[in-house]
Structure 1
């Protein structure tokens, strides 16, 4: 074998070794990533469930447990002593900077309890005040007909957040629609 042919074999051999080690590295990385995903995804899913349960518990404090409502996606019934005492349902409204995703707590006779904002992109310092107690407390025990945003405070309506009327309306409309949906559903259950 000439010196050149030997050098050529070594070169091919070197390329083969590099290719093999790359392939092995990629395979191992893939296994590690898939393994990490297999470990972290259930944890993330569990955290999402826990966050949702915590949010529901916050909205319906007296409930001992929550169970999914058949045929209603994302709806949960708050149970106490074997009886449904309230519902927690998804709500959303179109805010100033996009969709506002919420959960609304609603009594079985169709009154608002409270709401929790899950996701929003409203202006910091203005629109994000919707998560504050002062604004949220206005919803407690309200009928849908009283969920109207006003700029001048009244006893029965929802006073708009200063400088954030669009956000105030978005939240109010979202919660009102959720309360109306529960009221209709609860009425259909009584028949």
Structure 2
């Protein structure tokens, strides 16, 4: 009987040791992860800011600086010689594969300039052609009224991507809404 009790104590003891080691390992892992996050997160944050600035600069090449627009989430005014030459604003559209997230560059009077797709799940070889300049350059200088998808090419509207009308409409709707919001905002600033 004494022998059995001793074996039972050893078993409990080894379970306790395993639990302790596991606890210590989890704690150390947590400290390492937290430390790594503390070191890398500011860098990741800087990378995100740099990526956004690069995207905005790509959309509004003449801009010297970008300034956050007060009271508007993720809106930026593109400035040249202290004057607003464009706004870069978020735009969204419901595409064939889900939400299409974009950044739209719009002139202060509400004309589309260009856009950049940030995230999408559109069909490779069809809908994903929305990122190509051939499709994107159709938007330059268009007012919200002209931002309409057509299947027969015209200079006035947006010609749909072959085999991707839903994607074309989603992008166009997102850019049209962004242009309308900028035009409305600009008009309210002049009052």
Residues 19, 140 of structure 1: CA spacing in aligned structure 2 closer, same or farther, 3 A cutoff?
same
Aligned mates of 1:12, 1:99 — CA distance in 2? 55
Tell me by how many angstroms 1:107 deviates: 0.7
Q: CA RMSD in A?
A: 1.6
Equivalent residue number for residue 44 of structure 2: 44
CA-CA distance at 1:7 after TM superposition: 5.2
Q: CA deviation at 1:51?
A: 1.2
Counterparts in 2 of 1:160 and 1:3: CA distance versus 1, 3 Å: closer
State the 1:12 CA deviation.
4.3
Instruction: String of CA shifts for 1:140-174, please: whole Å, max 9, x gaps.
Output: 11111111111111111111111111111111111
Which segment drifts farther, 35-44 or 80-89? Answer: 35-44
2:114 matches 1:123: no
Could you tell me which runs of 5 or more consecutive residues in structure 1 were left unpaired when the two chains were aligned: none
Alpha-carbon distance in structure 2 between the residues aligned to 1:161 and 1:92 = 18
Distance of aligned partners of 1:165 and 1:12 in 2 relative to their CA distance in 1, 3 Å threshold: closer
Is structure 2 residue 84 aligned with structure 1 residue 93? no
State the TM-score, normalized to the length of structure 2: 0.92
Render the CA deviation track for 1:98-151: whole Å, top value 9, x for unaligned: 111100000111111100001111100000000000000001111111111111
C-alpha distance in 2, partners of 1:153/1:101? 26
2:70 corresponds in structure 1 to: 70
Q: What TM-score, normalized by structure 1, do the two folds share?
A: 0.92
Structure 2: gaps of 5 or more residues: none
State the distance in 1 between where 2:57 and 2:160 align: 27
Please say which of residues 97-106 and 32-41 is displaced more in the overlay: 32-41
After superposition, residues 106-145 of structure 1 pair within 5 angstroms as: 106-145=106-145
2:53 corresponds in structure 1 to 53
